[in-house]
Structure 1
Amino acid sequence: MPLTLTPFSSTECGFAEWSIDKKGRATLVEIIAYLYLRQEENALRVINALEPRRRVPKGRVAQNVIDKLTAPKQEDVDLLRTGTAKEKASAQHRVDTAISHRDGLLFQHVSWIVARLAFPSGCMTSPHVRQADKGFDGFIIEFDASTNEISRIVLCEDKASIAPRGLIKSSVWEDVASIRRGERDDEILADLVTLLKSVPDIDAESAVDEVFWEEVREFRVAVATGENIRGKSGDFLHIMAGFEAVAGGSFESRTAGVMPFKDVRVGLDVLAGEVAAKVEEIVGV
């Protein structure tokens, strides 16, 4: 498999450190490229070691994908060299935002692959198309094989950050707390019904109506960051401190993973470039 998950003992959650397998890197890049092209079936074929089927992307899909994988914009880079002080400040803000959004979307695709490998029979939302989409980054639904009823609903949150602890505390934990207070039940319900409508032989609304929400709800948090964030004990467990307190539930209902890079911005930039090149190869640019 293209990704390796190394478990660490934690009282907060089921925790693992993620890494890209050197021998599987090309496979990972190919899977991500197909996901960006909205060819999820081909991505799954690569995961299952099957030959992808040739599909011609519609319209500007391929170019749009390459644009999303390319950050920052060249005009902003130029302004950083030649602009006035005010122009440089504005350009720097746009550069930082573009890189942050590119990295966040890219890591969502990596996280989706980890989830698919962990839940091979689960029903999952596809990775986002738009950068910086609000709300949780995805859902995973599993069914009881004997009753065909929903047995678990996993809400996923993915972040790529040079300072993940502050982001987790200020954003992710607040999202989790908001959900536990029921403040987003209508949003979640709408997303779940939409996802379930793609499942054969399932009455989406009835399936959701019959669920005991608190009993099947789980949370999964994944972070890409730099090696400089590794704690004194040699791990990244401190990033997820407070997970149990904010999410509640059983230990099994909380899952987390961290993917470290020597430098997270450089690491994801390199990966983005490889995926963009693979997209061009797939579409024959």
Structure 2
Amino acid sequence: MFISLKPSKTEECNFTEWSIDTRSRSKLVEVIAYLYLRQEENAQRVINALEPRWRVSKGKVAENVVRKLTAPHAKDINLLRSGNDKEKEQAQNRINTSIIHRDGLLFQHISWVVARTSIPTGYMTSPHVRQADKGFDGFIIELDGEKKGINRITLCEDKASAKPRQLISSSVWPDVEAIRRGERDDEILADLLTLLKSIPDINAEAAVDEVLWEEARAFRVAVATGENRRKSGEFHHIVAGFKAVAGGSLQSRTAGVLPFDDVRVGLAHLASDVMAKVKEITGV
């Protein structure tokens, strides 16, 4: 549904190549639009093939969403054309940054949809609201059969990059190593408790007290990139070193790559379609 997952074998992790299903692309756009509008229930209704419920968009939520989906901004484009040398340089830097931030946030929403549809019984954090937000890109909690204890806590890292291997090596792997050293346990605990407290009929603190980090913790790395990063028909090299930095069993390491002919162009087209859907939903 929406995004197809093609598994392939590697000792590094459970690896899948993602592809957007052209037949249901419009529904994917609708799900993402509702997520950006902070209407997660309506996003889930679209996933479940149910009609979304009409909700009034509060304040300037819709306008803010449109702004976040827009890159580059008209002011910087104009400066790039008519400004002096310094203004052009500054405008180009802002243009590059705005595209990176737009694509990163958009891909977090795509990754959420994949997680939601592939782990339907899991509980997960919503995509970030702010662009370039610090910290984890998401949590997925899977409970035991009685829904009283925690079976797995998956920490998610989502990246959209034209040079993903460099980004993974310089940013993601150091984060994973820091987590394994316990340097971010307080952050994990805070976010974990917040998510658990939203789940009915579970004693959040008791569940956390009983869980063993090393046994329950898992990592999920998702990347959007270009087809030019494919090697020997695969993208496995992008997550080389996953096993060494994350440790644990194979089942505790998951990775996915969503390739576009050109990652920036592909995400720009998707952002434009999501923006149009946001405007249709809200009437802005």
**TM-score bin (small chain):** over 0.9
Q: Distance in 2 between matches of 1:37 and 1:192?
A: 24
Question: For residues 89-238 of structure 1, what are the structure 2 equivalents within 5 Å?
Answer: 89-146=89-146, 148-231=148-231, 233-238=232-237
> In the alignment, is residue 264 of structure 1 matched against residue 263 of structure 2?
yes
Aligned partner of residue 23 in structure 1, secondary structure: helix
Give a deviation string over 1:94-122, Cα, whole Å, max 9, x none.
00000000000000000000000111011
Give a deviation string over 1:254-285, Cα, whole Å, max 9, x none.
00000000000000000000000000111123
Code of the residue aligned with 2:91 in structure 1: it is A
Q: CA deviation at 1:60?
A: 0.1
CA contact (8 A) 2:137 2:158 kept: yes
Q: Which residue of 2 aligns with 1:86?
A: 86
Code of the residue aligned with 2:104 in structure 1: it is G
Code of the residue aligned with 1:240 in structure 2: it is V
Q: Distance in 2 between matches of 1:120 and 1:281?
A: 28
CA contact (8 A) 2:147 2:202 kept: no
Question: For residues 265-280 of structure 1, what are the structure 2 equivalents within 5 Å?
Answer: 265-280=264-279
Give a deviation string over 1:200-249, Cα, whole Å, max 9, x none.
11111111111011100000000000111111x11100000000000000
CA contact (8 A) 2:148 2:207 kept: no
Code of the residue aligned with 1:244 in structure 2: it is K
Pair 88,147 (structure 1): closer, same or farther in 2 beyond 3 Å: closer
Give a deviation string over 1:118-148, Cα, whole Å, max 9, x none.
1101110000000000111000001111362
Q: Distance in 2 between matches of 1:173 and 1:96?
A: 24
Q: CA deviation at 1:76?
A: 0.5
Q: Distance in 2 between matches of 1:28 and 1:236?
A: 24
Code of the residue aligned with 2:132 in structure 1: it is A
Structure 2, unaligned stretches of length 5 or more? none
Which piece of structure 1 moves more, 142-151 or 249-258? 142-151
CA contact (8 A) 2:35 2:43 kept: yes
Q: Which residue of 1 aligns with 2:21?
A: 21
Q: Distance in 2 between matches of 1:123 and 1:259?
A: 23
Q: Distance in 2 between matches of 1:147 and 1:164?
A: 37
Code of the residue aligned with 1:261 in structure 2: it is F
Give a deviation string over 1:157-180, Cα, whole Å, max 9, x none.
000001000100000000000000
How high is the TM-score relative to the length of structure 1? 0.99
Aligned partner of residue 108 in structure 1, secondary structure: helix
Q: CA RMSD in A?
A: 0.7
Q: Which runs of 4+ in 1 moved over 2 A?
A: none
Q: Distance in 1 between matches of 2:282 and 2:161?
A: 31
Q: Which residue of 1 aligns with 2:253?
A: 254
Code of the residue aligned with 2:64 in structure 1: it is N
Code of the residue aligned with 1:50 in structure 2: it is L
How high is the TM-score relative to the length of structure 2? 0.99
Q: Which residue of 2 aligns with 1:32?
A: 32
Number of residue pairs matched? 284
Aligned partner of residue 18 in structure 1, secondary structure: strand
